[in-house]
Every structure is written in C-alpha cells, then in structure tokens.
Amino acid sequence: MLCDAEKCTACASCIDACPKGCVQFTYDASGHTVPVADAQRCVQCGLCEKACPVLHPPRKQSILFPQVYCACSTDDDLVHRAASGGIATEITRYFIREKRGYACGVRNDGDFIPAFVLLDAESDYTAISGSRYVHSRADGIYAKVRDCLQKGSEVFFCGLPCQVAALYAFLGTEYDTLYTADIVCHGCTEERVYKSYVDFLRRSRGQADPIVGIDYACKDRGWSVLIQKLMRISYASGEQQYRWSQQDPYLSLFMDCAIYKPACYTCGFSRLPRQGDLTLGDFFGIGTMRKIKNLHADGVSMVMVNTVKGQELLRQISPRLRMEKRDVREAVYFNLNLWRPSRKGALHDALAREMGDPDWAKISEKYFNNPSEKRKRSVRKAVKTVAGDRNTARLMLLTYKLNGTAAKADEALNKLRNELENSAENI
Ligand SMILES: Cc1cc2nc3c(=O)[nH]c(=O)nc-3n(C[C@H](O)[C@H](O)[C@H](O)COP(=O)(O)OP(=O)(O)OC[C@H]3O[C@@H](n4cnc5c(N)ncnc54)[C@H](O)[C@@H]3O)c2cc1C
Ligand code: SF4
Ligand code: SF4
Ligand code: SF4
C-alpha cells in the first residue's frame, strides 16, 4: 500500500491524506523512518497510496525550458543570515506581508529539528531563513495548504524537492493560487541521526553552557563559490564556535554524501524538470564561465525559472532583488543535484552499519579523525589555499568537462528540451 522503505522520502503526504489518521512514522529494523498504517483502523480507502509522490509522481503544467538567474535580496542583513541570497525569505515576506496570503517554511524546535509552519500576515517570518541540514517534519502542512487554497488564498510553499512533489501529489489538482519553490537538495539525514549528533555536541560542552543556535550556512567569514559551508554553534554564555565543513564530523560526512537517508541516493525529484515553479540553490561556480560584476560577498542564489507561474513570481519580487540572467549551463555544470541525485560517498557503506544507533564519539574517531581522512582533507585544503576559491572552481569546471560530467548535464538539458518540444501542453 505505501511505497518501499528504501524509496520512502518520509515526506509525510500519506499521513496527511489518511482520513482515519491511522498512518504514523516509525523506525524499521535498519533504523530508517517509515510510515505504517494501523491495520485495525484502516478502511482500505487507498488515499494514502494516491497521495504518495513516489508511487504517483505528480505531473506539473506550463513547464518552460529553465532560465537561470543569479540573485540576492537588496536587504543586506537578510542576505547575511540567509542560506544563500535570501530569495526564499523575500518571497515569503512578499506573500504574507504584501499579498496578505500564506507561506510555508521551516522553523527549528528545541532539538534543532526543523518542522514546517504556515505563516500569515501576523507571523514572524525571519526564523525560516537559513538551511537546516536534516530532514524536516512536514506532517500536517499539506492539509493546511489545501485548506487555504480551497478558501481561495494565495500560498507560497518552499521545501525540499520531495516535499514539493508530495504537496502536488497530496492536492491531486493544480491551484492557480499556489506557487512553489524547491530547494536544490543533495540529500538529508534522518532526524534520529541528527539528534544523536546534537546530543554529542551538548555532551562535549557540558550542561552548564547549553547550545542556543546551530547555523550551517554562516556568512560571518563570507560566502564561497565553492561547495563549502561554515558552521556556527552559539552557546547560552554568548560564546560562538566556528567550524568549516571539513572541521566538523557531521557536516563533513554530510557534504561527502555519506549519511543520507536511503531514498536520497535514488531520489526521483532531484532532476529536470524540477518540482517547483522556481528552484533555489547556492550559485556555486558563478563567474567561472562568464565574468560577473558586483558579486555579493555574503551569498548569491541560483534561481531557476521552471514554469510560467515561476516567471511571473520572479517578475513580481524583482524590485526587492539584485539579479542577472546567466547561462543555464553555469548552474547545471556545478550544481549536479539540479539534474541527478547524489551518489553514495566513499564512507557510506561503512557508516550505514553505524547509523542504527549512531555513536558520534566513535564515528568521529573512526571515520573523521583517522590518518587517511585527515590526509585527504589536508590535500583539499592545500589546493584551495594555493589556488584560491575562484581558481579551484575553474579547476573543478575543467575536471567536469574532462570526466564527462558536463556532457551528462548537457544531455539532461537536451532531454528536457526534446520532451518539451514533443509535449503540446507545455511551452
Ligand atoms: C538539506 C538541504 C540540502 C541542500 N543542498 C543544496 C545543494 O546541494 N546545492 C545547492 O545549491 N543548494 C542546496 N541547498 C539549498 C541552499 O542551502 C538554500 O536553501 C537555497 O539556496 C535557498 O537559499 P535562500 O537564501 O533563498 O533561502 P533563505 O531565504 O535563507 O530561506 C531558507 C529556506 O529554506 C527552507 N529550509 C531550510 N532548511 C530546510 C529543510 N531542512 N527542509 C525544508 N526546507 C528548509 C526554509 O523554510 C526557507 O524557505 C540545500 C538546502 C537544504 C535544506
Ligand atoms: S488506506 Fe485509507 S484508511 Fe487505510 S491507511 Fe490508507 S488512507 Fe488511511
Ligand atoms: S507518501 Fe511520502 S512518507 Fe508516505 S510512503 Fe510515500 S514517500 Fe513515504
Ligand atoms: S535527496 Fe530527494 S529524497 Fe532526499 S531529501 Fe532531498 S529531495 Fe528528499
């Protein structure tokens, strides 16, 4: 009835779809989050299955061949606290403050686990800014969005590609007043894995000085055209600790694609055409194919326009943005998750055995602080230090051209172009 555990994205659409409220998440034998239906209360109506985007991938309308922009908000403070250029927060603000509609974004709970909230004109929308590198809880949000749409309200939904697909599958019909953005996603860890890591951080510090904030895309030391992140851990005492992705076991293994949920490695939503009217990501590699003027030091978003609605939405918020049209190839050559899911990192199989009950002290020693991993990180660091971020990005582009990755990205674009040409209903 529900999709295979290995393919389940934990989007929670089946939970919202069940009229008896009898689907809930549990952990399977390997420790993965999976939904189960209470057989006693199930009336075999099949609505959960119908709402599953893995079993019934939704089909969007008015798809365009992607146009790509680099963009950031004109509000410098927002760009600083945002994940990249602050576009998701700008659109959210526009929907709730100017259109008096609704917007969906994630906020952290006390354990730093992000969960979706529905925001309206009175809500504080600033807490949604920034990226959380863990799967977010979405149960409940799809039904709330449907209620708003049925009353004729305008709604903006921004989420991971699997969550945007889940919303469309749940709704089962297109609404003129719904606008969506999917965020480029290389994968997510399970909530349980992340919680154990936060506990590890807490234990390492001791109870006297609790953690009050964790930011994975901190800009206090600027933003890089390379896929590298600065993490900031804030403590109640006011102290702040900074770690580059290669200095923190969780962030490093996350960036190395070693600890994602199984479904992420075969994700059917990290592809072209994209799931949302817009796609938002970091514009890694910006300027490597063509020069760019006035790059914001605190972050630049990649905005991909996928539908006629997306085009209209970008036009509406453009007065709040600085933006420039770019070659679509500049985006897809660097951001591989625009057209394919991540591949399992070298440490994935070994770590999979640890993920049932992760012991981060042990994981740190065994997979992060061992001599061979340290050596690899030193080599990467040396290349970056000698070449600089921009030249390293140019080197990466050259590698992608030589190893056929760029050709595969071109292939994905050509495939989409052919599909659109052969489809009468799309433009
Ligand atoms: C798990 C994850 C993986 C990512 N991988 C890539 C990548 O490989 N390449 C790339 O270019 N970009 C990636 N991003 C996207 C990037 O980090 C930014 O989120 C995106 O560029 C939007 O930036 P912004 O400045 O417009 O967002 P902001 O204005 O800062 O707003 C952030 C938006 O992201 C949403 N959000 C944050 N965390 C989550 C979450 N866990 N689940 C659902 N929604 C969330 C918020 O609700 C909000 O709408 C990833 C983001 C996440 C959360
Ligand atoms: S078949 Fe119907 S009642 Fe049973 S779990 Fe699915 S949605 Fe709920
Ligand atoms: S709807 Fe989502 S959570 Fe439910 S089975 Fe399908 S993928 Fe898994
Ligand atoms: S990779 Fe796919 S399945 Fe995994 S979190 Fe991202 S969108 Fe969802």
Calculate how far, in angstroms, residue 264's C-alpha sits from the geometric centre of ligand 3.
Answer: 13
- 11 found inside a domain: no
Is residue 285 lining ligand 1, measured as CB closer than 6 Å? no
Ligand 2: atom nearest CA of 45 is 2
Is residue 11 lining ligand 3, measured as CB closer than 6 Å? yes
- 55 found inside a domain: no
Identity at 135, one-letter amino acid code: H
Q: H or E stretch including 16?
A: helix 13-17
Query: Which among 24, 38, 48, 170 is the best mutation to test ligand 2's pocket, defined by most ligand atoms within 8 Å of the CB?
Result: 48
| Tokens of residue 43, six digits | 């009336």
What pLDDT is attached to residue 424?
A: 60
| Angstrom distance (rounded) from CA 249 to CA 291 | 35
- 172 found inside a domain: yes
Identity at 150, one-letter amino acid code: Q
For residue 103, CA distances in Å to 196, 272, 371 come to 31, 25, 47
Nearest ligand atom owner, CA of 86: 1
Q: Tell me if residue 352 falls in helix, strand or coil.
A: helix
| Angstrom distance (rounded) from CA 346 to CA 344 | 7
The angle that helices 405-421 and 371-402 make with each other, rounded to 10 degrees, is: 50
The gap from C-alpha 90 to its chain's centroid, in whole angstroms, comes to: 17
What pLDDT is attached to residue 425?
A: 55
Is residue 313 lining ligand 4, measured as CB closer than 6 Å? no
Please give the tally of structural domains in the chain.
1
- 7 found inside a domain: no
CA angle 321, 324, 328 (to 5 degrees): 125
Is residue 86 lining ligand 1, measured as CB closer than 6 Å? yes
Is residue 337 lining ligand 1, measured as CB closer than 6 Å? yes
What pLDDT is attached to residue 244?
A: 87
Ligand 1: atom nearest CA of 81 is 30
Ligand 3: atom nearest CA of 51 is 1
Is residue 270 lining ligand 4, measured as CB closer than 6 Å? yes
Residue pointed to by tokens 């007065």: 319
pTM over 0.85: yes
Calculate how far, in angstroms, residue 281's C-alpha sits from the geometric centre of ligand 4.
Answer: 14
Query: Which domain range does residue 280 map to?
Result: 61-427
- 205 found inside a domain: yes
Burial classification of residue 382, based on how many CB atoms lie within 10 Å of its CB (0-12 exposed, 13-18 middle, 19 or more buried):
exposed
Calculate how far, in angstroms, residue 97's C-alpha sits from the geometric centre of ligand 4.
Answer: 30
Count of C-beta atoms within a 10 Å radius of residue 308? 15
- 46 found inside a domain: no
Calculate how far, in angstroms, residue 393's C-alpha sits from the geometric centre of ligand 1.
Answer: 21
Q: Give residue ranges with CB within 6 A of ligand 2.
A: 17-18, 20, 22-23, 37, 42-48
Calculate how far, in angstroms, residue 88's C-alpha sits from the geometric centre of ligand 1.
Answer: 8
- Digit-by-digit pLDDT tens for the chain (427 residues) are 689 999 999 999 999 999 999 999 998 877 788 999 999 999 999 999 999 999 999 877 789 999 999 999 999 999 999 999 999 999 999 999 999 999 999 999 888 999 999 999 999 999 999 999 999 999 999 999 999 999 999 999 999 999 999 999 999 999 999 999 999 999 999 999 999 999 999 998 888 899 999 998 888 888 877 777 889 999 999 999 999 888 899 999 999 999 999 999 999 999 999 999 999 999 988 988 888 877 788 889 999 999 999 999 999 999 999 999 999 999 999 999 999 999 999 999 999 988 888 999 999 988 888 888 888 888 877 777 777 788 888 888 999 999 999 999 999 999 999 999 888 654 4
Output the residue whose Cα is nearest ligand 1's atom 21.
281
Calculate how far, in angstroms, residue 183's C-alpha sits from the geometric centre of ligand 1.
Answer: 5
- 140 found inside a domain: yes
Identity at 301, one-letter amino acid code: S
Give exposure, 79-109, as e/b (b: 16+ Cβ within 10 Å): bbbbbbbbbbbbbbbbbbeebebbbbbbbbe
Output the residue whose Cα is nearest ligand 2's atom 4.
42
What pLDDT is attached to residue 1?
A: 64
Calculate how far, in angstroms, residue 272's C-alpha sits from the geometric centre of ligand 4.
Answer: 14
| Angstrom distance (rounded) from CA 342 to CA 284 | 16
Order of strands across the sheet that contains 321-326? 114-119, 102-108, 155-159, 178-183, 278-282, 301-307, 63-73, 321-326
Nearest ligand atom owner, CA of 51: 3
- 259 found inside a domain: yes
CA angle 111, 115, 120 (to 5 degrees): 130
Output the residue whose Cα is nearest ligand 2's atom 7.
18
For residue 304, CA distances in Å to 87, 327, 333, 384, 418 come to 12, 11, 14, 28, 19
| Angstrom distance (rounded) from CA 58 to CA 139 | 19
Burial classification of residue 128, based on how many CB atoms lie within 10 Å of its CB (0-12 exposed, 13-18 middle, 19 or more buried):
buried
